[in-house]
Structure 1
Amino acid sequence: MISIAIALAMLPLAGAALGATLVEDVRTWDGPSHTRVVFDLSRAPDHRLFTLTDPHRAVIDLHGGRISADQVEGIRDEGPIRRVRSGRRDQGVRIVLDLDRAVAAESFTMTPNDTGGHRLVVDLSDPQPNTAVRRAPDQAAEPFVVAIDAGHGGKDPGAIGAAGTYEKGIVLSVARKLADRIDAIQGLESVLIRDGDYYIGLRERTRKAQAAGADLFVSLHADAFHDRRVRGSSVFVLSRNGATSEMARMLARRENRADRIGGVSLADKDEQVASVLVDLSRAHTVEESLDVADVLFNKLDTLGDVHGTGVEQAGFAVLKSLDMPSVLVELAFISNPEEERRLKSSSYQHQLARGLTEGVRAYVEQTRPALALSGGDEEYRVRPGDTLSDIAQRHAVSVSELRRANELAGSTIVAGHTLRIP
């Protein structure tokens, strides 16, 4: 009887949870004019935003909301945001942004569309922003559109790490960070093929990229191998004549099974056809894919281990009939325990997104010089007690890169000065 009574007492709580607005992810971006915080939500939000002084804070009350503390505890020193904390408040949750100065705070909501679900966007800017504006690119030049495909999703978890980490979640997190960085550069525009934990068939990924008018398709994955010692990033493009290595052949077979999970038969398709890059219709598209893949591989090589000696080729499938440069990036081996830990780190995810953004930018500057790309760099205001090495670690860049970007001869920095984060 006691257990029945407890179960009955918990029913209202279960009902409340089912009707809650769940915070599924939190993303930040710090730009030259404002700092943006994006909350990915399970449903349309009922919220209130206001600011407080002494000390400075921006407060979001999310009625009926639910958030996990670990979703915000890693957010530190993003523009005016010193840290973010959350707690239960009345019938929902209160999210507090502790700030280092007074700001103007605005919010708006976004409804589900082809690239994402419900979102609450909070923008923080200086009350009297600098009136200087960046030179706009040639209005006649259309933006270069990058389709970012987070592999797997929903019922298809992808590879699973030794500690139980799902590939689908890692690549989605990196994809979102990459999209934020791409969108911060004038002349570039991102399209997220998948912006939630749901499955999309291989052909549908192709159609979404085509419908968006994408100029480049980048598919993100996290590799797995039976030997857990294998590590490093890889970049693949289509091969018309088979794979360039046994690893590439195994990867193509594994990724190709994703469509079986999604309920699509592969019986009428060539055995080589796999999960991302496909029998493209024009030979020159393969050559262009190799060009951008070389740039991305070299950028990843500067971040850490890469697998193999260069770009590999395999018979991937999701981009059939897609006449655009297309690459598949294996970010790391999730089957390697050390790399699994790194992939779960927000700092390393930002590092990967930054490297991929640099690669995309370098490729576009080579092929579309008329776009005159601008922006994209982050800025950080030095606080008392900061060291150059601490700032470098926090933003996943090297000390030498910080020195070079800010023309510093040594490691001496002054509180109140602004550093450019490359």
Structure 2
Amino acid sequence: MSRACWIGVVLGWLVASSAQAVEVQDVRLWRAPDHTRVVFDLSAPVEHKLIALDNPARIVVDIADIELKASLASLKLDDTPISQIRSGIRDGNDLRVVFDMSAAVDPRSFALKANAQAGDRLVVDLYDRGAATAEEAPSVKKSVDSGGRRDIVIAIDAGHGGEDPGASGPNRLREKDVVLAIARELNALLEKDSGFRPTLVRSGDYYVSLKGRRDIARKRQADLFVSIHADAFTRPQANGASVYALSTKGATSTTARYLAQRENAADLVGGVRLSDKDDVLAGVLADLSMTSTLDTSLKLGGRVLTRMDTIARLHKRNVEQAGFAVLKSPDIPSILVETGFISNPGEARRLATRSYQQQMARAIHAGIRDWFTAHPPAGTLLAWQKQQGGQQYTIARGDTLSDIAQRFNVSVNELKNVNGLSNSRIVIGQTLKIPAT
């Protein structure tokens, strides 16, 4: 064989090999309140088609020139409208994936190009028929007592979720898991408090866009939006907890700017284009309402930071500011709490433990209570209680007198004196008077 022929054979083999080199390296599935998301991790971009078929109901995804290297059998289909997932080869090298459906859905699909956070992906979203999207979740009504006094609604946002794991730490520790655990602890604490009504923006392991998180807080008529994170930095030595508010100008530090850029890039992982216009914020940043909201955010964030100082080393002793997209609500005070650097081995070990997660939740909770006890919104139960010179608390399972005293920023002796208690014994269902602080 001549040299020219040999080169032609080799080139032909390389072209053929490259054409067949694209692989489905992994398949992941998440269930959100309103839809099921399936993500195909790819070794390179692909062409695909999505087809909906009836009798029986099926969603078919055809992917051209690709090889399935991942397992479909291991995907957990519980609580999803998918009864079975099958796959097969057609037209030579094309892959067909069939979702057998047990309920009607509205399917959507899109490809995502590789970026700094993730590789090439194909995303299939199966929206429950007739359900509101997660970003259009029904509002949570502010409960009102017989006197017309309402609860204070706290929107608790656990950062990241689903195919967006956030930052990673040692031993496969993932930010999305740590912050959801802290968010649930904070939610449980606020549920015990008379006059407060917490709501979780993300209640499970699924993705919500940054704008979607703000929209959920607004639709649920939140009085405060608190986003919980545990980020990473370029140096593993970086450590300390922080509280951030929105900046309408520049960031207050290099770290603040870096973390804001990292958090804002989360939408790249979830498939939201960063170039999409932010209609909510347009023309509002210079508004007086935004100025008032920012002022409250900074002062409330300061109360939370003071409480966090009792259990963690602070990265900075003041509330920092940067252009965090998730904080861009012009009408809701919003703070972002960095519970620590998951990239720091020491802090990662603490963040992985339930005891530290509970401590962090209690610190955030105490800071929120400090602010709203001193500055309750008009028309709320706390505002009425402040006018009466105090408030009441009903004992719940697991409560101790010292915990209640710490929660309301009073001493155990003050609680005993105002309630006529000779010792620290309390019972579930008992109502305590809380002295004004």
Q: TM > 0.5 between the two?
A: yes
Change (3 A) 1:292 1:18: closer
- 1:375 aligns to what? 393
Q: Secondary structure at the match of 1:304?
A: coil
| Equivalent-residue separation in structure 1 for 2:167 and 2:348 (angstroms) | 11
- 2:304 aligns to what? 296
CA deviation after TM superposition for structure 1 residue 43, in Å: 7.9
- 1:256 aligns to what? 264
Alignment of 1:12-411 (within 5 A): 139-267=147-275, 282-368=290-376, 369-372=382-385, 374-375=392-393
CA deviation after TM superposition for structure 1 residue 15, in Å: 8.5
Q: Secondary structure at the match of 1:237?
A: strand
| Equivalent-residue separation in structure 1 for 2:399 and 2:215 (angstroms) | 43
Change (3 A) 1:113 1:176: farther
| Equivalent-residue separation in structure 1 for 2:231 and 2:74 (angstroms) | 39
Change (3 A) 1:324 1:18: closer
Are the equivalent residues in 2 in contact too, given 1:143–1:189 (CA < 8 A)?
yes
- 2:140 aligns to what? none
CA deviation after TM superposition for structure 1 residue 302, in Å: 1.1
The superposition leaves residues 231-264 of structure 1 with CA deviations (integer Å, 9 ceiling, x where unpaired) of 1110000111110000000001100101111111
- Count residues with an aligned counterpart: 281
Matched residue type, 2:241: S
| Equivalent-residue separation in structure 2 for 1:365 and 1:224 (angstroms) | 33
Change (3 A) 1:198 1:376: farther
| Equivalent-residue separation in structure 1 for 2:164 and 2:267 (angstroms) | 9
Matched residue type, 2:383: A
Are the equivalent residues in 1 in contact too, given 2:231–2:341 (CA < 8 A)?
yes
| Equivalent-residue separation in structure 2 for 1:17 and 1:212 (angstroms) | 33
Q: Secondary structure at the match of 1:302?
A: coil
Q: Normalising to structure 1: TM-score of the pair?
A: 0.57
> Which consecutive residues of structure 2, in runs of 5 or more, have no partner in the other structure?
1-71, 82-131, 136-143, 377-381, 386-390, 417-422, 429-433
| Equivalent-residue separation in structure 2 for 1:345 and 1:193 (angstroms) | 23
Q: Secondary structure at the match of 2:340?
A: strand
CA deviation after TM superposition for structure 1 residue 153, in Å: 0.2
Change (3 A) 1:375 1:18: same
> Which consecutive residues of structure 1, in runs of 5 or more, have no partner in the other structure?
1-13, 22-41, 45-111, 116-135, 383-390, 408-413
CA deviation after TM superposition for structure 1 residue 402, in Å: 9.3
Q: Normalising to structure 2: TM-score of the pair?
A: 0.56
* Larger Rg, first or second structure (1 or 2): 2
Matched residue type, 1:335: S
> What percentage of aligned pairs have identical amino acids?
40
> Over the residues paired in the alignment, what is the CA RMSD in angstroms?
4.1
Change (3 A) 1:256 1:17: closer
Q: Secondary structure at the match of 1:356?
A: helix
| Equivalent-residue separation in structure 2 for 1:376 and 1:43 (angstroms) | 39
Change (3 A) 1:283 1:231: same
Q: Secondary structure at the match of 2:335?
A: strand
CA deviation after TM superposition for structure 1 residue 336, in Å: 1.0
CA deviation after TM superposition for structure 1 residue 138, in Å: 6.8
